[in-house]
Every structure is written in structure tokens, then in C-alpha cells.
Structure 1
Amino acid sequence: MPKRLALQLIVSLTIIVVIVVGMSSYINVKTQEKQLLDSIILGADQLSRGITSATWYSMLDDRREAAYQVMEKIAEKQGINRIRIFNREGRVMFSTNPAESNRQYGKEFDACSLCHSTLPPKVNVEVPSRARIFRGADGTRKLAMVTPIYNEPACSRAECHAHPPEMKVLGVLDVDLDLDQIDSELTGIKIRGVGFTLTAIVAIGLFIVFFTKRFVDVPIRRLIEGTRAVSQMQLDHPIEIHSSEELSALAQSFNVMRERLKEAMTELNELNQGLETKVRERTDQLQVAHRKLIQADRLASLGQLAASVAHEINNPISGVLNLSMLMQRILKDTGIPAERLPEFRKYLSQVAAETSRAGRIVADLLAFSRRSKPAASEADLNRVVDTTLSLVDHKLRLINIEIEKHLAEGLPSIVCDAPQIQQVVINLVLNAAESMSGKPKGKVIIRTARTADGVLLEVEDNGEGIQPENLSRIFDPFFTTKEEGKGVGLGLAVVYGIVKSHGGDVEVSSEPKAGTIFRVTLPLVSEESSPERGLSQLGQRA
């Protein structure tokens, strides 16, 4: 069964039409056939009665030859195949076919069984029951009409007859008629019925197709096109259908829905525009507030920086002031007394140490505040690590720190500012060494490796580790967990700034009392890159 509604209607209605017209034609043909057969049966009965009447006087006068001649003459007429007379015992007393004369038939014979099918035998048989249709030896259909020959009073009282009055039936007259002409007419009726049926089916089918297309398929297609237009938000195309009241009402309802949707979309667009305007206004307000907040945060950071730097620098300056006062007391007009020269030299070395401490604080502050663009050039990370470790190796040995290196071979070059990367290595190594102060034997492991899109530098220690609550703050400027006087919290902040300016990243993982690992990733330089191009790229990221 097709899925389209129009085709379903066409197929369904066509099937109904075929069934109705076919049944109508069949019934019409059968009715005409019955009427024609009834007419021929009536004519055969009238013929039989006419033969009986024509031979009645001859039979009454016992002039059988004259009666037989009359029947032979009638049998010569067109359409009459055979005339026979049976007596009550089933013997053929006369037949237009001489070969059948005096032939004996039983009661089960067709001409006899009409009356002898019951006991006692029937006397009066209606016309339809006395007719039978069969096929002859040549294959054509025949109509046989059996007419009883009654023992009328004129026969029973005749001197030549010996039939008693109580004998009702003396025999039967059997007339066989050819049905060739009738069959030809029936064939014509059937052919005309089939032709009419086919013509009616084709005409009605075309009518169904036309009206289904006109009043069902076309309106439905318009509805489908309308729904597709709505699904594509084309709301300016109304649907016009006038084929039927129901589909027109459906189209009208759809148009109402389309208009309401259009109004809703218009309102929604207006609301969106209004909302976008408010969002822009609110965004501008938030940007202004954000700038003010950043300015306030900068002022707060500046205050924190000033307080921290003032506190850190005040300690060595106070020490230098006290030591200078002591040295001033030792110094006489004649010079430095010989017995107090070692003490003077001690104070002088302490002044130098405190002054150097103040210088380191200022240098860290300058390194953090400058944040200059890297001076990019190609460099070997392994060589940078080796050079850096040679600078701090002696200091680490003095505090009993062991250095273990695992540098990957064939590490590709990177575009970087080698002194800044060296500063990163120094800060990470010294930070690791400081975390192991107080341990009898500390170890710092340095690894380099190749990654998918860069190089990796790892610095691992077995120090005290970092508490989980401090991991998110270790790269913040001025954040430190060291004792007062041992740092201002700028070392890791400097590391973070340098790595970010090179387009890299730095991560940290730590377990308290187990140690810490810092992982620095830096981008590779491609084969097409040049130092100038690397400088441009790093400058954009800085």
C-alpha cells in the first residue's frame, strides 16, 4: 500500500469501484441470462403444448402415423433437434431419430426421473422443473422440455383405447432444442458487460484521479510547503486553499498559527535587541568597575610591596647603622687600636653582608618589576642547565645538597632568552635547596625531556614539600613561607613571569614531608623558524 494519502485514496476508491462495477455487471449478465433462458423455456413449453394439440385428434382417432408425420415435419424446423414420445414404462414409442425407436429407458433417465423421483410418481410438474439443459454429443448445449401426456376423458372413453380412467398419465413428449443462438446471444451479453465494466472502471478511475489530485493532493502539498516554510522561519507566505471546507479551515488555522508565531518572533527579536543593549550597557559598567577594581588592587599591591620592601630593607639598614656606630666608637683620633682591629674587621664584614643582603632584595624587586621582553635566540636547554649548575654547585656542596642530572640526549634547540632561562633554573634549584635546610642529606634531581610540542624541565627535591592550601599561591608575588629575613616571596613569581613570557607553562606537584616537583614546559622552534621570527612570537606572548 503506498504511503502517500492521495495514492491511498486513488487505490482504495479504484478497488471499491472495480468490486462494485464488477459485481453489478456480473449480476446484470446473470439476470439477462436467466431472463433469456426463462423466455426460451417458456417458448419450448409452448412448442411442446402446440405439438400435443396438433397431434391430439390424430392420436384420439388412433392414427399414429399421421401424428408421427406431423412431429417429423415440426422437427425439421430450425432450432429443433429431436422429438420423442415415451410411454409410462419408459419405452420410446416415437423418435425423430429412428435409431432410438422402441428403446427402453429406466426410471432414472432424465426424461423419466422428473416424475418418478418420488413415490407415488408426480402427476403435475411445473414448467421450470420440466426443463433441463445438457450438452449433446457434439459438445453444444441443448434444452429439453418434457411435457406429460394426460389420460383425458375423451381418450379413456374412446372405443380404441383401453386405458382405464384412473390412469392419469399415458406418457411424455420430450422435445430437444438447440441453444446455439441463445449461447451466442449470451456471449455477446458477456462481452458487452465486460466492455462496459472496463469502460466504467477506466472512466471512474480517471475521475477519481482527477478529483483526488485536485481536491486532496494539491491542497495537502500546499500545506506541506507551508509547514516547511514555517520550519525555515519564512513567515510571510500564507496558505490559500479553497478546495474543501475542511482543508480550508485547516489552512486558515495554520495561517493564524503562522501569524501568531510571526508576532511572537517579532516580540522575541525586540526583547533580544533590548537585552543585547542592556548587556552591552552592563558590560561597559562592569568594565569600568573592573578597571577601578584593578586600579584599587594595584594600589593595594603597591602598598603591600612598599611595606614588604621597607620591612625587608629596614632590617639590614638598621644592622648597618648599629655596626657603624660600634665601629665609630672603636675608631680613635690616632686610628684603630691594634688590640681592637679584629673586632673592627668583624664589624666591617657584617656591614658588607648586610649591605649585600639589601642589594639582593633590590635586585629581586627589579627582576620582578621589569618583565622585559626576552632577547630571543636559539639555545640548548641542556647546556643552560649545565652552565647554571656550575655556578651554584659549590654553594650546594657547602650545605650538603647532592645534584642528580638526567638530561635527554638529542634535545632540540628552543628559541629563548638564555640568561632568563638560567635565572629560572637558579631560582628553582635554590628554592629546592632552601626547602631541604635542616636535613642531613638533601637531593635535587634535574631532568630534561622532549614533549609533543616542546621541551620539559623538571626540578625535584626531597624537602619538606608544600602544604595543599599553599599550592595555589606559591607563584603570587610576596607570598613566602620562609622565616622572616630569608626572602620576600619573589623568586617563584619571577620564574612564572619568565616562563609565561616565553609562551611556556609551569606546574607544581607536592606532597608534604616527601618533596616537590616543578615542571616547566617551553615551546620548540620549528625548522622554518629564525631567531627574529621567534623573537616576534615571544614578544607577542609577553
Structure 2
Amino acid sequence: MRLSLIAKLSLAISLILLATMGLFAYINVEQLEKLLYEEAVIDADKLSETIIRTTHYHMLENNLKRAYQIIDEVGSQRGIIDRIRMVNKFGLVTHSTDSKEKGLYLDKKAEACSMCHSGPSPLVHATTMNRSRLFTNREGKEVLGLAKAIYNEERCYTAPCHFHPKEAKVLGVLDVIVSLDQMHQKVYAYRNEIIVLTVLQIGLIALCLTFLTQRLVNRPVRALVNHAHLIGGGDLDATVRVKNRDELGELADAFNGMTINLKKARVELEDWGKNLEDKVEERTQEIKKIQSQLVHSEKLASLGELVAGIAHEINNPLTGILVFASLLASDSKLDPSLKGDLDLIVKETQRCARIVKGLLDFSRESMPQKKPSSLNAIMDATLTLVCNQSSFHDINVIKEYNPDIPEMNLDPNQIEQVFINLLLNACHAIGGPGEIRIRTGFDQEREEAYAAITDNGCGIPEEHLSKIFDPFFSTKENKGTGLGLSVSYGIIEGHGGRIEVRSTMGAGTTFTCWLPLNHDRATATAEAAAANQAAPLPESS
């Protein structure tokens, strides 16, 4: 059975109102019953006090017959008083409006005694509410009992008729039990009134909601549905006429705007079909551009081989220069004024050699010399090397290592080279005071360990993220050769791992190196990568 929107809304809101108003009515009835109960306790306490005061004189005169007669007269109010009984300090019922109870002894655990005799010693004074109790009488009706102590006043222990010891605090208890029928009748009447008012209110609200929903929601929605059917049938000249100045009015405007856009799109498609040759020519030019980019990529691939040849050719004369310059610098016959120049030659030659080594590392894949190594120890060794540089003096390095990472089969030198490149790049990205956070850990399910280096530097533009691992690509002006990340990428790939990068402009960059924990899987992955590699250039991440 399909319910309309009005029926669903009315039913849902009616159920919510029923639940909330039912809860509200329940709380009100409970509060009323509590107040009436407290009022009944106060009335019973006043009645007890009145009986005690009224019979006090007769008790002093030892006129027990008259005192008990007064109690019987008060207890004769049927429907109000259930029974009244007087209990002495020994628990003996000396008098009761129920003749069956006279002469009975009450246990200290009885309802009338337990509130004062629940502890190790009986209470002399108790609050009115603590002296009251609710229970069901022999007729099955709920009644209220209130026990009020009769204290040993001075007139009691000095009276000539009967003597009570001065040390006695309590002479007995007057237990008044009153009926709660009138209280229950009031509560039931109030509850019935609440139920009737709740039903009437829910019915009135449901009628109002039905009328308002029909006018404000259902009509506009039907107009939108009809409009959607017209659009589905191809009538793009149809418009929705909804005058509401609310969300449904905005939705109608959006429908009209969508219809206009669809109409424009259909006109454009018709024009595009008429001008298909122009479109084909345009796509042909785009394909030519893509082919040009592919040719450029092939040239980059061959550049690796060219770099290797040039590096080998340069390396030989550099070696000779370095050797002879070192020999001359250590010759004792050398003019001291020339030693500084020779040292400069040695230094610059060594720098050239490092550049050549970087070119060779880029152009050829060097097999890692793996051995069981600790990822955390390699990172600490790397920090020892780079943190002494002046550029790291204003940078706070935070280490968050996982000490449970097992030893892995790695080439410590190559992994250290990767970490050096990443840390130096992070330092250059900060360009001053800043923070570098280093985290290590592992994923047991994926059997991979990771080292993440996060800086709070300038970040990398999104359009550069796909190029940062390309050889000779660098975002540093007049710095670097653009080979550091390419070499690092090749080293991690040679270990069967991968490098991930996340960056936000102005917030910083995170490089994460993932390395396999399983040596056999790492070897298989590295061999597969080497077999599928068509050129020495690493692929962009």
C-alpha cells in the first residue's frame, strides 16, 4: 500500500507528538501522585499529632477508657481512616480500632517499627517521610501508614497516676493508617483528562498539518513531478510555476534552470553534429599533441643512456685530476702559497665526482647489498649526518618511532641515501625555523614497514606532484640537479617498496617510504620491477 506524503508526515508527527505528550502526561501524573502522597503524609502526621494532644490529658489522668474512646471515634471515619493503633515501647498493641490486633506484640522488623529499629540502636527522632510507608491492607487496597512517637515529657514521668522513668525517651508509638482511595480517584480523574486532551490535541494538530502540508508541500511537489515527466518526454519548453518563497521555490527555480541548460545542451549537440568535421579536426590536433608528448618521453628514456656515457667519460679525467692534485697537496716541497689552491681543486673535483656518481646512480640500477637492518637505526644514523648542518640548526626534529619493527633485509647505505634526500628536501622546503616529524611503524596485515617524514614547509603545488620523481625536474631555483627523488624512487623500488607523497600548499609535505617486511616477497617484487622496466627512468608516482 502506497502512502501519500501528507499521510506519512501526519502519521510521523502524530506518533512523535503521541510519544512526547504521553511522556509529558506520565511525568505530570507521577508528579501529581507524588504531591498528593506528600500531602497525605502531612495530613496523617497532623492527625496523629491531634490525637496525641487530645488524649494527652486523659493519659495523665489515667483515664484510658476515655482516651481509647477518642481514638475509636476518630478511626470510625470509614473511607478515610483504615485503622489506628497504639503500641507501647515493648511492642505491645495496647489499643487498636481493629479489635483483632489488641494484645498482640509487634516484631521490630514489622512495617510500623522497621524505620526506627533498622539500625543497631533505635532512632529517637525520624523525619515525617521516613516514618511513612505504603502497603496493601488485608482487603487488597493500598493504604498509607504513619508512625508517630509518643515522647516521655516531664508531665508524664512526674504524673501521680503512673510513673515513667525519667531516662525513658519514648513511651510508645501511635500508628495511623489512612486510606488512599481519594488520592487514587483524583489521580485517575486527572489521568483521564490528560488522555482526552492529548487525543484532541493530536487530532487537531494532525488536521492542521494535513491542511498545511497539502497547501505548502504537496502541491509544489506534484508540480515538480509533472515537470520532471514533461522533461523526460522531451518537452524542454515546460516551466514550473511555484510561487513559494522557500526551499521548494528554490528547487522549482533550479528545475527551470536545469531545463534551460538541457535545452542549450541539445542545441549545442545539434550544432556539434552539423559541424562534425571541425570537431574531428580539433580532436586530430589533440592526438598529435599527445603523440608529441610520447616522443618527448622516449627522448627522456634515451637520455638515461646518454647520461651514463657522459658520466663515464667525465669520470676518468676527474679521477686523474683528483689523484694528482691530492699528491701535489701532500708533497712537502710544495710552495705553501699554492696549497690553498690545490685544496680548492681537490674539493671541487670531489664535488664533481659526487655529481658524476649521482648521474651514474640515476642512469643505472645498482643492486642493493641487503643485510638484516633496523629501520629506526638507519634513520638515527641519517639524522646524525644531516642535523649537524647549519640549515638544520633552527629546525625541531620530532621522532615518533615504533620500537616493535622487526629487522628487515635492506641495504643500509642506499636507504640512508633516500632518507638524506628526503630530509634535505624537507629542510629546503621549510627555509628557516620549522619542524620535521619522523614516524616509523608497520602494517602487520600488509607485511610492510614505513618511514614517514613530514615538514611544515611551503608544500608542493598539485600540478607538480605527478612530476617530482621525474629526472631533472626540480622546484628549487638554481639549486639541485633534479635527480635526488628519482634516485630515491629507484632505490625504494629496488627494495620492492614504494614512495607516497601528500602535500598541502602552505601547510607542508609528507613523504612515506613503504618497505616489505618479507624478504622473499621483496626480492620477487624487485625482480619483476626490473624485468618490466623499459628504461632506467623511474615512473611518476
The TM-score with structure 1 as length reference comes to: 0.47
The TM-score with structure 2 as length reference comes to: 0.47
Larger radius of gyration, structure 1 or 2? 1
